[in-house]
Amino acid sequence: MDCIFCKIIKGEIPSTKLYEDDEFIVIKDVNPQAPVHLLAIPKEHFASVAELDDERAVVVGKMIKKLAEIAKEKGLDDGFRIITNKGKHGCQSVAHLHLHLLGGRQLDEKMG
């Protein structure tokens, strides 16, 4: 499948990996929007939160938990943001679900 994140998961495209288990990986974003900008990506390919079922939702919950742990390890004591984009209006550019962790600076108050 022609999916950048599937290729990263298979090791066909290099990435800086901070965490990996059977269900997901955490990597550095190649084009960081904040001093800390990580991506949590499930190993199963599906497009977005619109494709969640109960099983996938459990994995996404684990991804959020892991990102919060990494944020603590990285000393983001003043806070951080975890987001996921969906579709054109959400500015999703890679159609394989992923969560962004952004932190290390004051983020914009406006979410849009």
Closest CA to 102 of 77, 87, 83, 86: 83
Q: Do residues 16 and 28 make contact, with C-beta atoms less than 8 angstroms apart?
A: yes
Dist. CA 96–CA 112, nearest whole Å = 21
- Asked if 89 is an active-site residue, the reply is no
Q: Is 95 in the site for Zn ion (CB under 5 A)?
A: no
Which of Zn ion, ligand 5GP, none does 6 bind, CB closer than 5 to 8 A by kind? Zn ion
Q: Taking CB under 6 A as the rule, does residue 51 contact ligand 5GP?
A: no
Q: Which of 37, 89, 96, 98 is catalytic?
A: 98
CB hemisphere CA count around 21 (13 angstroms): 6
Nearest approach, Cβ of 30 to ligand 5GP (angstroms)?
A: 3
Which residues here bind ligand 5GP, judged by CB under 6 A? 4, 13, 15, 27-31, 39, 85, 91-94
